[in-house]
Amino acid sequence: MEGYELPKGWRWVRLGEAVSEIKSGFACGKQHAVPEGIPHLRTNNIGTNGELDLSLLIHLPAEIVDLNIYSLKSGDVLFNNTNSVELIGKTAIVRGDLPFVFSNHITRLRVKQDVIESEWLTLSLQYLWYQRFFEKECQRWIGQAGFNTTRLKKVQIPLPPLPEQRRIVERIEKLVNHIEEAKSLRHAAREETKAIMPAALCKIFSKANTQRWKHNRIAELITDIKTGTTPPSKETKYYGGNVQWFTPGDLGRSKYLIKSNRTLTATAIKGKKAKTFKQGTILFVGIGATLGKVGIATAKVSSNQQITGLYFGPVIIPDFAYYWFRFKYDYIRLLSSAVTLPIINQEGLKNLVMEFPPLEEQHRIVTYLDHLQAKVVELRRLQEETAEEINATTSAILDRVFQGEL
């Protein structure tokens, strides 16, 4: 962190000079986990906000745990020494004595109380993490990064006098409380936004009986149904053409399927190594964890075998069918929940009963839902911007702290 002029009375110290103990935890595989026992903190338990996250805990049998060595005391600072590159260096403070232990991917720091406050050390390490210091300075392996004890001891942190540390920490805690309140409000708003479309779909489609909509099996409403295929991956002649090839991961981002990162050649189509769906086809994920996702083809496309294409006749417009499938999402998944791998085949889809009004009413419903969906998308965009602003506020506050401006 050293590299700028400190306020009067502050000084640079190596972290090793400010702590009385640096202790890494111990490894223990999940095969030793028990329903009840001694909590063993893992990397997921260190939040990015300087606090512990105890929402998901692994417990170990008491007989394999040494609490005398690995327990946690109030004021301990936990440093995440091994993680992905972007998460390496997360730090959290322990705010009470805990009969917990911790993994070898966590380093426990105990401060010299006559030198530094635990909260100040936590803020210092948090600031370094926000500045991506550990990301830049860590040792990297394939898919993982580390920052060992020797290097951690040498990290430079700014150190004000103890009374100044306490004053700043108290000020920071008040500001952080406001930020956390803002995050809670944003989370509540996001949950309300998520509920808008399901509520609208329920309001519209639940009136099918009272408004005397028609009821027909999908088999009676479609003119074509087929399931996609996957050409042999080793055959390069089948890939890199002009026909978009979709998988379940491409569905659900928006109503219309516009572009995929994978394409098929005319050879794959002519050789019947792939099936194509014409514009306006409903593409439905019929197998796997994402069963029920749906989209509309905007051109001639192809898909893998997890997706079934349904082309509706003249009495159903594709956009209405799309919203009907979204309304029936939970019901369709319930039909497939009796097996290990969720699946609904072509026959299952054909036997579903679709409720639908006259075409004019279908168009009116689609126009309303499209307009509502656009509002939801805009709300989500604004909420994401707000989230970024809140996170930026935390970083900006720490900038002011370590420049001596707070």
Q: pLDDT by residue (tens digit) across 296-355?
A: 999 999 999 999 999 999 999 999 999 999 999 999 988 876 566 788 899 999 999 999
On whether residue 146 sits in a domain, the answer given is yes
The residue ranking higher by pLDDT, 29 or 91, is 91
Structure tokens at 225: 């149904």
What confidence category does residue 163 fall into, taking pLDDT thresholds of 50, 70 and 90? very high
CATH of residue 259's domain is: 3.90.220.20
What confidence category does residue 406 fall into, taking pLDDT thresholds of 50, 70 and 90? low
On whether residue 330 sits in a domain, the answer given is yes
Based on the domain organization, do 351 and 373 belong to the same domain?
no
On whether residue 5 sits in a domain, the answer given is no
Mean pLDDT of all residues in 265-279:
88
Provide the pLDDT for residue 381. 82
Based on the domain organization, do 15 and 154 belong to the same domain?
yes
On whether residue 267 sits in a domain, the answer given is yes
% of the chain with per-residue pLDDT over 70? 91
Q: How many domains does the chain have?
A: 3
Measured CA to CA, the distance from residue 321 to residue 310 in angstroms comes to 10
Provide the pLDDT for residue 283. 95
Q: ∠ at Cα 22 (19, 23), nearest 5°?
A: 155
Tens-place pLDDT, residues 280-300: 999 999 998 889 999 999 999
Instruction: Please write down the HEC assignment for all residues of the chain.
Output: CCCCCCCCCCEEEEHHHHEEEEEECCCCCHHHCECCCEEEECHHHECCCCEECCCCCEEECHHHCCHHHHCECCCCEEEECEECCCCCCCEEECCCCECCEECCCEEEEEECCCCCCHHHHHHHHHHHHHCCHHHHHCEEECCEEECCHHHHHHCEEEECCHHHHHHHHHHHHHHHHHHHHHHHHHHHHHHHHHHHHHHHHHHHHCCCCCCCCEEEEHHHCEEEEEECCCCCCCCHHHEEEEEEEECHHHCCCCCEECCCCCEECHHHHHCCCCCEECCCCEEEECECCCCCCEEEECCCEEECCCEEEEEECCCCCHHHHHHHHHHCHHHHHHHCCCCCCCECCHHHHHCCEEEECCHHHHHHHHHHHHHHHHHHHHHHHHHHHHHHHHHHHHHHHHHHHHCCCC
Based on the domain organization, do 134 and 172 belong to the same domain?
no
Provide the pLDDT for residue 274. 86
Structure tokens at 212: 């005397």
Provide the pLDDT for residue 207. 87
Based on the domain organization, do 144 and 17 belong to the same domain?
yes
Tens-place pLDDT, residues 81-125: 999 999 999 999 999 999 999 999 999 999 999 999 999 999 999
Mean pLDDT of all residues in 232-259:
85
Based on the domain organization, do 344 and 401 belong to the same domain?
no
Mean pLDDT of all residues in 352-377:
94
Nearest to 277 by CA among 302, 250, 304: 302
Domain boundary pick from 330, 356, 382: 356
On whether residue 294 sits in a domain, the answer given is yes
On whether residue 18 sits in a domain, the answer given is yes
Based on the domain organization, do 350 and 328 belong to the same domain?
yes
Domain boundary pick from 317, 339, 356: 356
Based on the domain organization, do 255 and 385 belong to the same domain?
no
Based on the domain organization, do 276 and 384 belong to the same domain?
no
Q: Is the pLDDT of residue 396 over 80?
A: no
The residue ranking higher by pLDDT, 396 or 379, is 379
Q: Is the pLDDT of residue 188 over 90?
A: no
Provide the pLDDT for residue 337. 64
Based on the domain organization, do 170 and 144 belong to the same domain?
no
Q: Is the pLDDT of residue 404 over 70?
A: no
On whether residue 4 sits in a domain, the answer given is no
Based on the domain organization, do 115 and 224 belong to the same domain?
no
Structural domain harbouring 381: 165-191+359-406
Provide the pLDDT for residue 29. 80
Based on the domain organization, do 339 and 372 belong to the same domain?
no
Q: Is the pLDDT of residue 394 over 70?
A: no
Mean pLDDT of all residues in 256-262:
80
Q: Is the pLDDT of residue 390 over 90?
A: no
Among the ranges given (3-7, 55-59, 249-253, 266-270), the one the predictor scored with the smallest mean pLDDT: 3-7
What confidence category does residue 185 fall into, taking pLDDT thresholds of 50, 70 and 90? confident
On whether residue 202 sits in a domain, the answer given is no
Based on the domain organization, do 352 and 385 belong to the same domain?
no
